[in-house]
Chains A and B, each alone.
Chain A
């Protein structure tokens, strides 16, 4: 019969139409209520019928790896040592790798000695050129530039607002942690602490030297704090900022322990030490696995 195919097609359209109402009923007419936790259901593979996101009354949260424009990570304002300190060391790698060359960095200079200093004097990103590729974030060796999730950036004038300068780009580390809880933990594990990698290294070095001196003077004291912050701790939202000081000392202490007592007898503090050693080795192994897996 001519027209059967068309009717079949119309049947499908009607089915879709009805599906939407059935779907509404499924959520008991509370489909868009802010208090219903049905967003996953509505937006995943289980969705039936219309699955419109009612922007701006409800917005789809972005996944951690989402990339929009880049921003610079700085220390939090309540950081004990260096509040608001840039993580960027103006090494220039991001500017070199940026495909459309939209990053501009003025390397910092000591006003007196005229020698380069880590902190960049100026940092610009022209977001009218940026292609949101994420290379800058991927290749920055200091985890200092990251991709933002703030996509609501419409403006009425581009001349004044679309070249982001350092002031506009800087966002505190807690912000980065809040938009990417898991990635930050992975990165912190790779670095060995929540601090900037240079700070960690410097502290490790200082602790090592101090420990060396101490070792020359008297035998080692057992350390107390955990070595490397784990994901669970971060998930609990614990502040790990102060941990690193202790942990750096621990690393040194443990290193020494490792070197001096390879086979530990079964005395109490030594057992503790051995346990900690095992823990540390596990963390290191995890770190290596991650490295191999390509998580820089």
Chain B
């Protein structure tokens, strides 16, 4: 365990940028747009510069890579842009670099050789923005299907139910005559079928492409003796499969029972979160972030409000959240981390075949915490609790119900009593019991130790985050690497594993719950002492206007590093809607490592390996 990571005393970000500009004159230039940061790199030499950034400057962790479309923005050239956020694994802030390309025939060299973790993110940029990445070995659509008409995140692409560029829609008030969107547009306004359109000629090639790329049944090998030979077999798992944690699909080539190659197929829950986010106003996105990683909505809220607060801080009238608001935020986020880890460990056991009992035990404790969320925020899952500058409402004095309907039964507990009992007694006792229950179990050990190993350097290269990364022995936690909120004043450790296998990931999660409890024990007195203080800074406003610029903030969510990249562009007086709203989803990027991790293991192990990554589809597919 490492107590705290000190940022390496090499270059600060400014120094690094100066070095970079000196080393690559004419290639690297400052991003001079107001409110922007980092450098713009001439795209033809992107790979070279990126390698230098990784090897010489030490920014070895690519957090996020995303595209932005600047089409139709006043005062800007019509171009597409890739934005990369790279960090040092030892901590510190980001070196942001960008590469620009024209919109027609958009092409940017792939960085997959520098950071393999760019794999899925580049595929996503191709899928949604239509940027080609020469050098990417497998550039196929990732969230939508092959043959989808157009690249939907481009600003000139309109969805079938398109009403208006930005919310609020004018048809809602004052003449809001209700209609259902499908009445107006029953079958895709934006698709024009040819006159001789015929279904039989229409072919969905997605499946075929996947199977072909995996070498379907071509490779005949002999196993041992001359007379036993086996075909390579392609096995499809999902999207409806009880062990894929939602609608996730894996295609595997098997040699006997051993996995030769594994290809994750996703997008079955692609809900166009980012596009809807760009239509929304800033505040309207908060409840939508609940639905990203729906097991830790508080964490998602936190990441998003931090990003927007960072953006608002560029303006003059910004007021940072009050101390009590920060305390409550940390309280909620850490409770939510416990909720999410309970779920994740429980379901991992489910995948191992211990059907439902460990899950039920974990869920019992989870339900208790959800009761607290329900009494405080109003909903068990979709908390929608944090606001820019504070939180929705203070923690209630009592957790109680109001009986209104037949057969309603009322529970009534004092909140502080409840929290104290949960944090000091019930949850530690439960964790003791749970560890006693699971960790020595021989079946679990046999199936988990040494399976799905990912070594530290590979985990970093693949941009893994969260417990997955820490189980490989990298003490990287955003709460320490780039502290936010009141974490600097809290005392906690970062649990790490040694081998980076499934067992370590489970143990890391169990230990993290204990660390969360440790944080919560420090939060409780703060909660008492700040009682009655204001939970909100400034005026509550539904019409938030953000100054121009870009902002990227990240939090350590239960699944890993959750980042939000928001660009505010357009109106110089401040914008109401984000121009670009991107989510660095830990579940999505962690999956990049699934293929390499599963290689060489048996087909039965792949379910557990997936379970140990702990994905939530709402976040993976967005």
Task: Check A293–B177 contact: CB distance below 8 A.
Answer: no
Task: Check B376–A135 contact: CB distance below 8 A.
Answer: no
CB distance from B543 to the nearest CB of A (A): 8
Quick one: CB contact mask for A116-153 with B, threshold 8 Å, 1 for yes?
A: 10000010101000011111001100000001011010
Task: Check B168–A60 contact: CB distance below 8 A.
Answer: no
Q: Are A134 and B378 also in contact (CB < 8 A) when A40-B413, A294-B536 are? A: yes
Task: Check B404–A65 contact: CB distance below 8 A.
Answer: no
Quick one: CB contact mask for B531-552 with A, threshold 8 Å, 1 for yes?
A: 0111110001011000000000
Q: From the candidates A65, A90, A95, A139, name the one contacting B375 in the complex (CB within 8 A).
A: A65
Task: Check A96–B407 contact: CB distance below 8 A.
Answer: no
Question: A106 to B174, alpha carbons, bound, how many Å?
Answer: 5
Q: Does B384 contact A (CB under 8 A)?
A: yes
- Chain A residues within an 8 Å CB radius of B177: 104, 106, 122
Quick one: CB contact mask for A275-295 with B, threshold 8 Å, 1 for yes?
A: 000000000000001001111
Q: Does A30 contact B (CB under 8 A)?
A: no
CB distance from B212 to the nearest CB of A (A): 40
Quick one: CB contact mask for B394-421 with A, threshold 8 Å, 1 for yes?
A: 1010011111111111111100001001
CB distance from A90 to the nearest CB of B (A): 7
Task: Check B410–A61 contact: CB distance below 8 A.
Answer: yes
Q: Does A16 contact B (CB under 8 A)?
A: yes
Task: Check A296–B375 contact: CB distance below 8 A.
Answer: no
CB distance from A95 to the nearest CB of B (A): 4
Q: Does B377 contact A (CB under 8 A)?
A: yes
Q: From the candidates A16, A51, A65, name the one contacting B378 in the complex (CB within 8 A).
A: A65
Q: Does B167 contact A (CB under 8 A)?
A: yes
Quick one: CB contact mask for B245-258 with A, threshold 8 Å, 1 for yes?
A: 00000000000000
- Chain B residues within an 8 Å CB radius of A16: 361
Interface-facing stretch out of A4-12, A195-203, A221-229, A258-266? A4-12
Q: Chain A interface residue count: which class? A: 35 or more
Q: Does B294 contact A (CB under 8 A)?
A: no
Task: Check A97–B172 contact: CB distance below 8 A.
Answer: no
- Chain A residue, CB-CB nearest to B444: A5
Q: Are A39 and B433 also in contact (CB < 8 A) when A124-B178, A292-B534 are? A: no
CB distance from B377 to the nearest CB of A (A): 7
Task: Check A107–B404 contact: CB distance below 8 A.
Answer: no
Q: Are A132 and B407 also in contact (CB < 8 A) when A95-B173, A124-B178, A126-B178 are? A: no
Interface-facing stretch out of B187-195, B279-287, B334-342? B279-287
- Chain B residues within an 8 Å CB radius of A84: none
- Chain A residue, CB-CB nearest to B401: A61
Task: Check A135–B283 contact: CB distance below 8 A.
Answer: yes
Task: Check B402–A62 contact: CB distance below 8 A.
Answer: yes
Q: Does A114 contact B (CB under 8 A)?
A: no
- Chain B residue, CB-CB nearest to A150: B405
Interface-facing stretch out of B125-133, B311-319, B434-442? B434-442
Task: Check B284–A97 contact: CB distance below 8 A.
Answer: yes
Task: Check B374–A9 contact: CB distance below 8 A.
Answer: no
Task: Check A97–B542 contact: CB distance below 8 A.
Answer: yes
Q: Does B169 contact A (CB under 8 A)?
A: yes
Task: Check B404–A178 contact: CB distance below 8 A.
Answer: yes
Task: Check A99–B422 contact: CB distance below 8 A.
Answer: no
Q: Does A181 contact B (CB under 8 A)?
A: yes
Task: Check A9–B437 contact: CB distance below 8 A.
Answer: yes
Q: Does B426 contact A (CB under 8 A)?
A: yes
- Chain A residues within an 8 Å CB radius of B533: 293
Q: Are A95 and B442 also in contact (CB < 8 A) when A45-B418, A57-B407 are? A: no
CB distance from A242 to the nearest CB of B (A): 25
- Chain B residue, CB-CB nearest to A56: B407
- Chain B residues within an 8 Å CB radius of A163: 178, 180
Known: A16-B361, A131-B382, A294-B390. 18 other contacts (CB 8 A): A3-B442, A44-B368, A57-B407, A58-B407, A61-B409, A61-B411, A62-B374, A63-B374, A97-B168, A97-B542, A101-B169, A103-B176, A133-B287, A133-B382, A135-B542, A179-B402, A180-B402, A294-B535
CB pairs A–B below 8 angstroms (26 shown): A6-B441, A9-B440, A39-B410, A44-B411, A45-B413, A45-B418, A46-B421, A59-B405, A61-B405, A61-B408, A61-B410, A64-B396, A64-B402, A65-B375, A66-B378, A67-B379, A95-B173, A97-B281, A103-B173, A105-B176, A122-B178, A147-B378, A163-B178, A181-B402, A293-B535, A294-B536
Which A residues are closer than 8 A to B by beta carbons? Answer: 2-6, 8-9, 12-13, 16, 39-40, 43-47, 51, 53, 56-67, 90, 92-93, 95-99, 101, 103-107, 116, 122, 124, 126, 131-135, 138-139, 147, 149-150, 152, 163, 178-181, 289, 292-296
The list of the 8 closest CB pairs from A to B, nearest first, reads A61-B401, A5-B440, A104-B176, A294-B536, A107-B174, A133-B287, A92-B173, A99-B284
